[in-house]
Structure 1
Amino acid sequence: MSAPISPPLTNAEAEGKGVLVDINERSREIFKQIVESYLATGEPVGSRNLSRIIPMTLSPASVRNVMADLEQAGLIYSPHTSAGRLPTERGLRFFVDALLEIGDLAADDRASIEAQLKAHGGEHSLDAALAQTMSALSGLSRGAGVVVTTKKDARLKHIEFVRLDPSKALVVMVAEDGSVENRVLDLPAGLPTAALTEAGNFLNARIRGQTLAEAKLEIQTVREAMERELDAITARLIEAGLATTVGPAESRQLIVRGQANLLEDLKAVEDLERIRLLFDDLETQKDVIDLLSRAEEGEGVRIYIGSENKLFSLSGSSMIAAPFRDGSQRIVGVVGVIGPTRLNYARIVPMVDYTAKLVSSILEKRRS
């Protein structure tokens, strides 16, 4: 089944995403009204109109001062010389993560999705059921319904990691048959962006024609062989009295003695250079294996706004998507909706989530 819809972020979590949230209640209310007006009409809203619709007594001048602060924070902008303001992509992300109130799916929408899926989900193929469901999502959301399915144990052609925020990354996996699967990973604390790039480069030089599990196993095997080689070289240097090790095995350090004498022992110099290369490679492989393990368990894409949607390069668009699983609880596809950034997020998020749950339910019944 797909994961439940995430609750709004706390201030600390939103700050972790790089969004300024240190604004008072008055500023939040004005910002919320600007976003909701944009989602409803697509038009900028000015201070005079805002002073009339916000649930507090403020003069247009006071509202303008708040709008100036919100603009300085990068949450809103002026599309032209008028006094009206629109939310930026950064502002929409803050709204979705911290302020969006998501209710239950409307009964009519629920019934429509169920009717489409159940009508084609019995003896018919899953592809036919998904096609009808995408049509239903498209009609209900007024966006483009999309579905991406994956083949079990697909053989990989290319893999890429894209950082989304300090704690999450998107892994894009392209199979040899041209199919694409994408998942969101939780990253270990402090992992630099350069490590994601290095992991992608390392894998793309080795993974072609392998499944994710095969690639992980091969790298683990190579890593174990390199650790044995490292142990052998280190033992040789220690036996020669040229070095010693300190610390536990997982974080050991090599202390070199009498470095001037190394100039007389070319073999020792070669050994030390090999040790340096092994340490570098082992550190890279440690990150790669960790990322592959996280990719095997990663959740599907949820919400992208504007230029965040790197997978489809749809600047000015948003995508809301949720994963569905087979009877073994393995992610086998993603359903979603693509549309303009002023999608009705509060309505479409539960719609997509419910659709993914229904598809997962059908796949579970087919297995039993």
Structure 2
Amino acid sequence: MTLDRQNMPSLADLDERSRQIFREIVDSYLATGDPVGSRTLSRREGVDLSPASIRNTMSDLAAIGLLTAPHQSAGRLPTHAGLRLFVDGLLQVGEPSAEDRQAIEARVAPTAAKVSDVLSEASSMLAGLAGGAGLVTTPSRETRLRHVEFVPVSAHETLAILVSEDGSVENRIMVAPPGLPASAMVEAGNYLSTRLKGRSLKQAMEEIRAEIKERRASLDSAASALVEQGLASWSGGEERALIIRGQAQLLDNVAAAEDLERIRMLFDEIERKEGLIALLDKTKDAEGVRLFIGAENPLFSLSGSSVIVAPYMDSERRIIGALGVVGPTRLNYARVIPMVDYTARVVGRLLEKSRN
């Protein structure tokens, strides 16, 4: 099951009374995790409505998919669609408090000498402050190149030499196109050196391929074949690691058997690390924090959990990794969202320092 975001109700569909009741129910759910009934709401300060009026409004909100009743005689809880509407339209998110900023800096900054320590501590810190499991992907390595050269090593193989701006050298053996003359190797090396200088392979790859495809590259057929062969062999996936901390915290305050089963399913989902890395990598599509609630992401459709993720960047604002927190939908979104965002900024800054 996935949420149909296009057909979800909007705030414009709610009158003032409905908005008030809806906000009260979501606030109560986020604070306690329990369903709330009409009589309880009628006793709240600022709610000047009878239980009967509140029940009618709650029924209307349930009819459009914003509320649900876990049991026939229970009060109401927000659905995943209701939580999404609340976060997008009613939640006010600012900067993290001074206390939270100090806590983040105090935990992560002392580890700045080593990249792995920064990432591990960030994951643990997010888990502790947010009450869920902390997630951090290791940074993608996009080395900027200075020079590319091809050297024949046999009748069927060519050695590609990639020299980075930092002076490191990487050698890669390639299968050579048949009948490749030495002049084509020189031509291909000069062509790539010109277009890759100061850029990573990933940054320039699409442009180079388009240029060759449209025959705008000043290369003969043999040199073009060598360049395309190189791009194909160099575009293999890099190994990315996922650091997870704090799963045990998800077991805290489990009050019912169904809650324990949901947490067990969440543990199973967290074990699918490749899916989690792909989920965190979705932050590369846009800057800033991204939030996935329950069925909005297939990876967490069984446990109905929420994931809050943000990218971390280098000094040139290139996204190199992502971090976040996963936990029950009853997260303190107003606090956790800015914390995840601020932690990403701190991690990006510290990783940049560790490289200099």
Taking structure 2 as the reference length, the TM-score comes to 0.58
Which one of 45, 48, 51 corresponds to residue 60 of structure 1?
Answer: 51
Change (3 A) 1:350 1:300: closer
Task: Indicate if the aligned counterparts of 1:300 and 1:334 stay in contact, CA closer than 8 A.
Answer: no
Task: Indicate if the aligned counterparts of 1:335 and 1:356 stay in contact, CA closer than 8 A.
Answer: yes
Which one of 120, 123, 128 corresponds to residue 139 of structure 1?
Answer: 128
- Match status 1:42 vs 2:33: yes
Which one of 210, 217, 240 corresponds to residue 220 of structure 1?
Answer: 210
Task: Indicate if the aligned counterparts of 1:153 and 1:212 stay in contact, CA closer than 8 A.
Answer: yes
Amino acid in the other structure paired with 1:19: P
**DSSP-derived class of the 1:93 partner:** helix
TM-superposition CA deviations, 1:151-206 (whole Å, max 9, x none): 2349xxxxxxxxxxxxxxxxxxxxxxxxxxxxxxxxxxxxxxxxxxxxxxxxxxxx
Equivalent residues in 2 for 1:11-160 (5 A)? 18-21=8-11, 22-53=13-44, 55-121=46-112, 124-153=113-142
**DSSP-derived class of the 2:26 partner:** helix
- Match status 1:333 vs 2:324: no
**DSSP-derived class of the 1:147 partner:** strand
* Deviation at residue 53 of structure 1 after TM alignment: 1.4
How many positions carry a matched residue from both structures?
230
Give the Cα–Cα distance (whole angstroms) in 1 for the partners of residues 104 and 283 of structure 2: 30
Change (3 A) 1:295 1:29: closer
* Deviation at residue 107 of structure 1 after TM alignment: 2.8
Taking structure 1 as the reference length, the TM-score comes to 0.57
Amino acid in the other structure paired with 1:65: N
* Deviation at residue 224 of structure 1 after TM alignment: 2.8
Task: Indicate if the aligned counterparts of 1:327 and 1:363 stay in contact, CA closer than 8 A.
Answer: no
TM-superposition CA deviations, 1:80-114 (whole Å, max 9, x none): 11141110000000001001122442333222211
Change (3 A) 1:136 1:55: same
**DSSP-derived class of the 1:117 partner:** helix
* Deviation at residue 32 of structure 1 after TM alignment: 0.8
Match of 2:238 in 1: none
Which one of 287, 292, 299 corresponds to residue 304 of structure 1?
Answer: 292
Dislocated runs of 4+, deviation >4 Å: 294-297, 311-314
* Deviation at residue 17 of structure 1 after TM alignment: 7.7
- Match status 1:343 vs 2:331: yes
* Deviation at residue 327 of structure 1 after TM alignment: 1.9
Measured on the aligned residues, the alpha-carbon RMSD in Å equals 2.8
TM-superposition CA deviations, 1:288-330 (whole Å, max 9, x none): xxxxxx9976336511100112355564100111111012211
Change (3 A) 1:83 1:295: closer
TM-superposition CA deviations, 1:250-301 (whole Å, max 9, x none): xxxxxxxxxxxxxxxxxxxxxxxxxxxxxxxxxxxxxxxxxxxx99763365
Match of 2:342 in 1: 354
* Deviation at residue 366 of structure 1 after TM alignment: 4.4
Equivalent residues in 2 for 1:134-283 (5 A)? 134-153=123-142, 212-213=202-203, 216-217=206-207, 220-221=210-211, 224=214
Give the Cα–Cα distance (whole angstroms) in 2 for the partners of residues 36 and 297 of structure 1: 31
**DSSP-derived class of the 1:299 partner:** coil
Give the Cα–Cα distance (whole angstroms) in 1 for the partners of residues 343 and 139 of structure 2: 17
**DSSP-derived class of the 2:43 partner:** helix
Match of 1:202 in 2: none
Match of 2:172 in 1: none
**DSSP-derived class of the 2:320 partner:** strand
Give the Cα–Cα distance (whole angstroms) in 1 for the partners of residues 45 and 80 of structure 2: 23
Change (3 A) 1:224 1:140: same
Change (3 A) 1:95 1:58: same
Match of 1:322 in 2: 310
**DSSP-derived class of the 1:36 partner:** helix
Task: Indicate if the aligned counterparts of 2:294 and 2:300 stay in contact, CA closer than 8 A.
Answer: no
Amino acid in the other structure paired with 1:40: A
Task: Indicate if the aligned counterparts of 2:309 and 2:322 stay in contact, CA closer than 8 A.
Answer: yes
Change (3 A) 1:72 1:61: same
Give the Cα–Cα distance (whole angstroms) in 2 for the partners of residues 326 and 299 of structure 1: 13
Change (3 A) 1:127 1:311: farther
Give the Cα–Cα distance (whole angstroms) in 2 for the partners of residues 119 and 100 of structure 1: 33
Task: Indicate if the aligned counterparts of 2:307 and 2:325 stay in contact, CA closer than 8 A.
Answer: yes
**DSSP-derived class of the 1:74 partner:** coil
